[in-house]
Each structure stands twice: as C-alpha cells, then as structure tokens.
Amino acid sequence: MKLLRVGAPGQEKPAILDADGKARDLSSVVGDIAGDTLLPETLGKIAAIDPATLPELEAGRIGPCVGQIGKFICIGLNYSDHAAESGLDVPKEPVIFMKATSAVCGPNDTVLIPRNSVKTDWEVELGIVIGKGGVYIDEADALDHVAGYCVINDVSEREFQIERCGTWDKGKGCDTFGPIGPWLVTRDEVADPQDLRMWLEVDGHRYQDGSTSTMVFGVQHLVHYVSQFMSLQPGDVISTGTPPGVGMGQKPPTYLKGGETMELGIEGLGQQRQKVGRA
C-alpha cells in the first residue's frame, strides 16, 4: 500500500493511493497515518479495503506521510563514499543524531534557508517508519517492527552543524529541514530495501545518484541498533544516511542560496520537489 496525508498543514486527511494513483479518503477508517494506525493489525485492516469504495480526495497539497512523529532519528555517515567526500572515517558503529520534529514538512513544501545561514545543503535519504514498537529488538526480528519506507530530504546547515560547537543537531533541525513523503510505502511492497536507486537534482543538475546497496549499516541492523539506546514506538522515523554528492562534497563546495528547485526520489517510493526560499 501507498499511504499519504492530503490537505493544508495541520488539516491533513489520511489517504491511500488506488490503482490509478488517485488519493482515496481513509478518514472513515483511521484518524491519521500516525501512531497505532501503523501497527500491523491496523495496516492489515486497511489492506483489506478496496480503495475504489472510498471517496476520492481532490488534488491538493500532500503533507508529510506520517503525522505526530514522536522521534525523528537520523544516522550519519552511513555511506562509505559519503564519509570519504566529507573527509571522515567510516564509523565503527552507527552515528545517531536527532532532528527536531518541528523540521517535518510535506514533500513539496518550500524549504527555507534559515537566517544567518551560509552553508545550507541537501541529502536524499531512505526513511524507515516504525510500526510495532519495541526495545532491545533482536536483529533477526527487526524488519517485523517496520511499517514501511519513505523518501526524506535531510536538509542540513553545515556551518551550524560542524563549525558552531556542540552536536550536529543545531544544523539539522531548522524549520522545513525535514521533507517526508510523498507516500509511506508499506514493507510488503518493498522487496529489498537494500537495493533501491536514489537521486537528487538541484535546478536540473544531478548531484546525487546512488543506491541503498552501498549503506554501511542496513535497515535491519539500524532498527536493532537504535533500539539498544531508546525504545522505538509506532510512527517514529529513522533517516538512514545519504550517498555522495552533497553540496559540501563538491569542488568547490556548492550550497543553496535561495530560488533553486530541489527534486529527489527513491525507486518505488516516489519523488519530492521543493522550491528553496529564505526565512
């Protein structure tokens, strides 16, 4: 299934794509694509419905594909070639940082360069959406805790992240720095999350062109690993790192100034398109 949320910010309706790619209203079935809706039993209930029997929603803004996100967990330097372009060693264990949930926005919403920014950058990433919660999850059971996958643009301000002291979070959590969607694609529709093409372009120039096959730590290990340090709950999101081609890695480095258009996508998970503005 491809689940999505349609409507103005704060007024999104839960929806499912039908066979013709039309959004069908799930409001009579679930309150939102969030929390307990992502449990296996609820997803099974949705899967049993013929989307053609549901009202069609008018075309409009697509919101983030998950609502009421409790934790927005990110993994750094999880592609060896991205670590190399950053001038850093491949980590021995996954690097975990958090992105503010206030950064979350729709896949086609405007991304705003924050005030005093000089190094705003892009990162196409595979997102994991947690379904069944858990803590100390065995690696062999980790995929049972995944509701599905989505596209994420982990927008980053490199000066705030690297040069302004402390952890990475201040360069990662600015408003609009977390476009998510367009869809949550349920796990049964993704045969192998470690074999998905991914790409990102700015104003038509392709900067990132990679594959989840080159991740250092795969989806199964990441769900297991993160759960050793915090409980995972339905609707939590894990963003799994980016392939090479970020602005920081260009020679010379290339950063967003405002007025550009970013387009990005992951095979089978849809595409995003964001205009870049300034706060």
User: 66: closest CA among 178, 155, 167, 180?
Assistant: 180
Show the DSSP H helices in the chain as ranges: 40-47, 80-85, 158, 219-226
DSSP-derived pairing of the beta strands 111-113 and 120-121: unpaired
Distance CA 192, CA 213 (A): 9
Mean per-residue pLDDT for 115-137?
98
The answer to whether residue 150 scores a pLDDT higher than 90 is yes
Mean per-residue pLDDT for 54-79?
96
Cβ contacts of 237 within 8 Å, gap of 6 or more: 66, 69, 71, 72, 73, 127, 128, 129, 130, 150, 152, 180
Paired residues of 97 in beta bridges: 74
pTM metric for this prediction: 0.96
Rounded to 10 degrees, the C-alpha dihedral 202/205/206/208 comes to -40
User: 105: closest CA among 268, 267, 262, 250?
Assistant: 262
pLDDT in tens, 77-105: 999 877 777 777 788 999 999 999 999 99
pLDDT at position 170: 94
Average pLDDT over the chain, rounded to an integer? 96
Per-residue pLDDT band for 194 (boundaries 50, 70, 90) equals: very high
Amino acid 26 reads L
Per-residue pLDDT band for 195 (boundaries 50, 70, 90) equals: very high
User: 193: closest CA among 178, 209, 214, 224?
Assistant: 214
Query: Domains of the chain (ranges plus CATH)?
Result: 2-53 (no CATH), 72-278 (3.90.850.10)
pLDDT at position 88: 72
